[in-house]
Amino acid sequence: MNNSRILVTGGAGFIGSALIRHYATCTEVQIANLDALTYAGNVESLASVVEAPRYRFYHADICDAAALEQIFTEFQPDAVMHLAAESHVDRSIDGPASFIQTNIVGTYTLLEACRAYWQGLPAERKSAFRFHHISTDEVYGDLEGTDDLFTEETAYAPSSPYSASKASSDHLVRAWQRTYGLPVLITNCSNNYGPYHFPEKLIPHVILNALHGKPIPVYGDGSQIRDWLYVEDHARALCRVLEAGKIGETYNIGGHNEKRNIEVVEAICALLEELAPEKPSGVAQYRDLITFVKDRPGHDARYAIDASKIQRELGWQPTETFESGIRKTVSWYLNNPEWWQRVLSGDYKLGRLGETASAQQTSGENS
């Protein structure tokens, strides 16, 4: 893959930025980042790679067919890795329209732009081209038993507007492969965590609320179970699937780390006791801030991934345990307050126009 040109959609998001940092650090590929910079897109997560000559940025929306056509024509990718999505369950419950627009209409628009580009490639490049769609285990719904696992053959049963929109996008990708022959790969991952995670998500929300002496909200009784995957392990898995995955196949990516939500919260509180012993005024122990709140509608009880296929066929397995990954994550937030402070204040949005203009100028973008 070292001579390849890879277009990453949603590359300013949490997983997308980890993927781009991995490619920039560990390979020689040329990377184009296509991102609309909605609220969770943060170019500051890419500060370490933004000046790299192999990196360019396109400020565009995957729903904009004309912009997509221009980007494909200019960058001439050998592969597309599609991560652009609205991804927060609570937001999808409060306002599902943007999830339908981005995750379904946007994926359709991207697929059509990709198909038109792919069909015009010379035979050798056409056969080597890949469209890698990155999805979630939430499309499977939830598991009732304590021993059941999601496999690549598990029937879809999404519970929220978010997961339903992602399930829809998965179906579109498969249809474009079967109907038009577009060479696709699909991955469904478990819950990610790690550095640069937007503060509305569970783990960074717990860390930052605790550091500020604010209540740590836990839905219901905190018994919901998730399989936690360190984001840098996920980035390695995505690279491996693009490199060696079989066209038309789905690969589940999990961290082998099932934890109840309350266990996750308590683990973070314990680490903060060790790593940040000077607490906010009035806080005796971080765990005293835990507050149980009304459960969200349709809250899935348990997710758990069977990741044996990707390990068996592609040789990937996670390197981080939950214990090692959560320690790295808490330490990162303690050591990088300037990043999350700018997110919490909204200042991360202020530099977007200037930074975007600079990135477009260096990449040659003229839209």
- State the catalytic residues: 137-138, 162
Token pair belonging to 38: 């909605």
Cα–Cα distance, 146 to 302 (Å, whole number): 8
* Residue 268, H or E segment: helix 261-275
**Residue in 104, 210, 215 with CA at minimum distance from that of residue 163:** 104
DSSP 3-state helix, strand, coil percentages of the chain (rounded to 5)?
A: 50, 15, 35
Q: Which amino acid is at 13?
A: G
Give, in order, the Cα–Cα distances in Å from 255 to each of 22, 137, 191, 280, 354.
18, 12, 8, 33, 38
Residues 172, 184: Cα–Cα separation, whole Å: 11
- Give the three-state DSSP class for 123: helix
The residue ranges of DSSP E strands in 46-199, in sequence order, are 55-59, 79-82, 130-136, 184-189, 191-193
